Structure 1
């Protein structure tokens, strides 16, 4: 680094580029995606005839077989009345892939029942070689259904929740679940995923299956990718092989692939180093020893298209769970590796342009730069807290790196769950207007006895009121009562500090709720409140006043101001006539209406003042006229 002192930025970048090129040239041995153990369970019950009439489970399973990285372990089963082995669990190789693709043709929709418990047990029983991540993918369109006896079905479902699920979690399995119909037990499938750090997905139709399988595989067996810019990607000298996955719709044009030297590959015409797999809805093209430079494809631009690679030089990203809870501490950690060891040379990292691209649940995209301030030396690991995942929902995270001579991408989907649901409503059941707030925890995730919840209410004037919620064990919820000072909309937020079932400390705020506080006996705005109370004689105690005599009353009417008005000569002038007093209302007959009296007095004073001013102006003009006449006489 001392040699770099005094050099300009361009020279430093040039030296760094040479250094990167040297690192790439010295890299030996092809690196592949980190191996995983993937086990697939496919529902073949009779209801699939309606939910998957075209049997699109077959191409989806064949896609999965093609994309599982070599060196991983995998096995496929179907289940209905009982589990059946579709493809034996074993090491993934070219021969295994070929056999797995062929076995998918045996998928049917013939069984009467749906024994999910037996299927999970069968998948978990296979032995994993070595210590690698274990994943189960469960596809079903129905409920736990063993018999017409509902009690037996309920017993089997309880066994999954109370016994099988805890065992799977303890053994380190990540269970990813797919619901293929509205009749599927989504509550159970979602629970299996949440409790094991897996992904839960709902397929709108069987057409979605291939895309969902590919997305789950990004978590179950993540692979290094090349960034696709439109429909182009750059191949550098370190890449030994790339695999392109391009999705199609019925109206899509036939896929063509163009090399840097402008040679065109198609499904029917390509070189011997190209393997082309074409199926319903997608193409998979693998090119060994690809030409260095810019490649392009003629196809629909699809965000799920991808190019995975086998390379001598790697971006190594530490896997994230497919699902997590709000408040869990999550960090993105990655490094650059040569020969399996992290690159720690500072000059190398100075030229790297790294970013994290986050697609939020509301489809907003944010890009976060990851510079050397996040680099931990001497380990050579970047560590960025994922503190932007503050709302529940599905996120798409992409780590994109640009080293000038090479580019890499790793994509990771993650679902964030709220371990607590907040609700609020206006209530008058006991005669008192208030807002009742309740918070129900996901007891499978959160330990209520080790957690505290504070609620904060903000009214339309930004005035805040807070309270600590009380845990009600028998009702399995927290409760608090808040009393706004006025009617209108209020926002209620919560702050949770607690502990998950696995002992992890957690701190988060669930999504806020809006409550309209408009109940019959709720307090009103201050001004309206006073007027209402004055009008009814309830708020202010008025002094006792004797009723005037008829004569006095007559005098008050003729001269309400009580002021004697004279002109400049001392002659008394009558006040302007006042409008007749309006007839008494029912309210006046029942009690003194001070608002009405005040209004009348105010109007009269205004008229009197106007009369005085008018009289004085008239007298002034008269005086001026007299003076002018006198002047003329002289």
Structure 2
């Protein structure tokens, strides 16, 4: 009886010690996970020769909020997980920086399907998971026979099966397409399917901005307006972090406080942290002095002042995808304004949508009796990546809240490979065959357009087409909300070497049948489970496993678990010994 009580007590001790340890390693349900999947195929060496993706990852690591959970995967021919999921803190950030040199271990191929699948293993859907995918190519799976068909099949599975499944599991995919060779249509499709942002960086210089755009969706931060290297700090700002972009060889950056103190990386003064990178400075100042601060030195596009403040500008959910020529309603309010005590004059709130070429549209939001400011963004007539800036100005304070968005046409169109027809699909969910009519003309002649399903149409092209490059003009007439909308659509070009999308981007998917690197032995790559491959996997995953084991051993509960296991082992050994002594001796027959 005593033995049974001891065994039961040991098991209870083991369970009680294990449960708190498991609970403490998980973030709260409100805090979403952040997972990065980085392309390490051979073409990345050419499209990102300065390895700016390492600076982008470092920027994400620096700006991810504490207590969130994050991890890193790489993919080419194989998928590796050099940085396992962990709670973001100083130790995790250091481990993340330690794996950055592995971003230059290039591989063949671009197996995006396997990367999406393996990077989301274990996602249950009980809380939101953000998956950030960086790639510079197209789906390019390892295959020997019938490779173009295998590439197309993998791409189709991503669109038809994998992306919808991830959306149901509460996974939001944010994509960064590097270079014009990337399959931007695929990136945009899976981002829209899951509610994420599709960002395009045409060259490596724009890569850092794309990382920041995605981070703005994952973990939006309050800001102070930065104009001509100056920003105004009010008495409710508890801390600010200045993110200053610059070129690699630009001069030093100096931060000047309202009382004239000059802060630099060599003499940070009141700055609690100063992170220097070849492309940016990240300066954190706790309890900053009230007044005007100045930045002396290079201040590149995208620089911003992030703050921690009791006075905050909030907005209703703004989708990552906006639609061209469709008004976007806005609902904005201030939190903590009563504490600020500026009731003498009502603040003003403005909304501005701008892209790399400048402002697209702007409007002033109107105050209402419930303290909210409401309005609509109109005349959104350009497609591509853009930033929606919400700015509040009041007596002695100013706040800025930005949202990175992707503006897309309301209808997608794809030209058939034989140029016999154009297939059109509604991208905006409110368009149907009942409320939308499509008009198509070629050289002034009206083409036949017929519904092909709910939210789908088909434009029939003539049997004989001009030999020169021509475009089909497209217009959608929409009857919605007691209004008639005439929406011009981007034209579709004919007589190109490859099928052309409605946005004008060429989709020559078979042009790159596989990335071949002359500095790797094909024999090793053709054997995915060779000894060399297994050794490489062990090297990739050993640092993360070792760091997690060390962190676990530092927890006092780990020693209680070990003690419980040791006690259980001793009790089981003692019981076996007693049973052995209780057995009657067995009679042995004499053997000849």
| TM-score, reference length from structure 1 | 0.62
Corresponding position: 1:510 with 2:501: no
Which consecutive unaligned segments of at least 5 residues does structure 1 have? 1-33, 425-437, 482-489, 500-504, 516-634
Corresponding position of 2:351: 356
Corresponding position of 1:442: 425
Corresponding position: 1:170 with 2:178: no
Q: Tell me if the contact between 2:361 and 2:378 (Cα under 8 Å) persists in the aligned partners.
A: no
Q: Deviations over 1:358-394 (max 9, x none)?
A: 225752454422232xx252xx332322334355333
* 1:38 CA drift (Å): 2.4
2:392 to 396, 401, 413: 401
CA 157–349 in structure 1, closer or farther in 2 if over 3 Å, else same: farther
Counterpart mapping for 1:154-165 below 5 A: 154-165=152-163
CA distance in 2, matches of 1:155, 1:169: 20
CA distance in 1, matches of 2:233, 2:48: 39
Q: Tell me if the contact between 1:179 and 1:203 (Cα under 8 Å) persists in the aligned partners.
A: yes
Corresponding position of 1:382: 373
Q: Tell me if the contact between 1:422 and 1:510 (Cα under 8 Å) persists in the aligned partners.
A: no
Corresponding position of 1:49: 45
Corresponding position of 2:208: 210
Corresponding position: 1:67 with 2:28: no
Q: Tell me if the contact between 1:328 and 1:506 (Cα under 8 Å) persists in the aligned partners.
A: no
Between structure 1 and structure 2, the one with the greater Rg is 1
CA 112–243 in structure 1, closer or farther in 2 if over 3 Å, else same: same
CA distance in 2, matches of 1:172, 1:507: 34
Corresponding position of 2:551: none
Corresponding position: 1:58 with 2:35: no
Say which SS state the counterpart of residue 136 (structure 1) adopts: strand
CA 512–114 in structure 1, closer or farther in 2 if over 3 Å, else same: closer
Corresponding position of 1:568: none
* 1:165 CA drift (Å): 1.0
2:312 to 314, 317, 325: 314
CA 217–494 in structure 1, closer or farther in 2 if over 3 Å, else same: same
Say which SS state the counterpart of residue 371 (structure 1) adopts: strand
Cα RMSD for the two superposed structures: 4.0
2:458 to 477, 480, 499: 477
CA distance in 1, matches of 2:137, 2:112: 10
1:80 to 59, 76, 79: 76
Q: Tell me if the contact between 1:141 and 1:183 (Cα under 8 Å) persists in the aligned partners.
A: yes
State which drifts further: 357-366 or 237-246: 357-366
CA distance in 1, matches of 2:126, 2:253: 39
Relative contact order (C-alpha < 8 Å, sep 6+): which is higher? Answer: 2
Say which SS state the counterpart of residue 488 (structure 2) adopts: coil
CA 382–148 in structure 1, closer or farther in 2 if over 3 Å, else same: farther
Which consecutive unaligned segments of at least 5 residues does structure 2 have? 1-29, 416-420, 463-471, 494-592
* 1:262 CA drift (Å): 0.5
CA distance in 2, matches of 1:75, 1:208: 24
* 1:251 CA drift (Å): 4.2
CA 401–410 in structure 1, closer or farther in 2 if over 3 Å, else same: same
* 1:127 CA drift (Å): 4.1
CA 94–356 in structure 1, closer or farther in 2 if over 3 Å, else same: same
Corresponding position: 1:107 with 2:91: no
CA distance in 1, matches of 2:357, 2:489: 14
Corresponding position of 1:292: 290
CA 467–79 in structure 1, closer or farther in 2 if over 3 Å, else same: closer
State which drifts further: 465-474 or 64-73: 465-474
Corresponding position of 1:495: 477
Corresponding position of 1:334: 332
CA distance in 2, matches of 1:143, 1:456: 31
Q: Tell me if the contact between 1:226 and 1:308 (Cα under 8 Å) persists in the aligned partners.
A: yes
Q: Figure out how many residues of one structure are paired with residues of the other and give that number.
A: 444
Say which SS state the counterpart of residue 237 (structure 1) adopts: coil
Corresponding position of 1:410: 401
Q: Tell me if the contact between 2:363 and 2:375 (Cα under 8 Å) persists in the aligned partners.
A: no
Q: Deviations over 1:85-136 (max 9, x none)?
A: 23322333333333323332332233223221111112222548974x5322
Q: Tell me if the contact between 2:411 and 2:428 (Cα under 8 Å) persists in the aligned partners.
A: no
Q: Tell me if the contact between 1:398 and 1:410 (Cα under 8 Å) persists in the aligned partners.
A: yes
Q: Tell me if the contact between 1:195 and 1:445 (Cα under 8 Å) persists in the aligned partners.
A: no
Corresponding position of 1:592: none
Counterpart mapping for 1:1-400 below 5 A: 36-127=32-123, 131=127, 133-144=128-139, 145-149=141-145, 150=147, 151-271=149-269, 273-326=271-324, 330-338=328-336, 348=343, 350-359=345-354, 363-364=358-359, 366-372=361-367, 375-377=368-370, 380-400=371-391
CA 44–471 in structure 1, closer or farther in 2 if over 3 Å, else same: same
* 1:220 CA drift (Å): 2.3
CA 269–508 in structure 1, closer or farther in 2 if over 3 Å, else same: farther
CA 172–361 in structure 1, closer or farther in 2 if over 3 Å, else same: farther
Q: Tell me if the contact between 1:495 and 1:508 (Cα under 8 Å) persists in the aligned partners.
A: yes
CA distance in 2, matches of 1:246, 1:107: 24
| TM-score, reference length from structure 2 | 0.66
Say which SS state the counterpart of residue 160 (structure 1) adopts: helix
* 1:472 CA drift (Å): 5.0
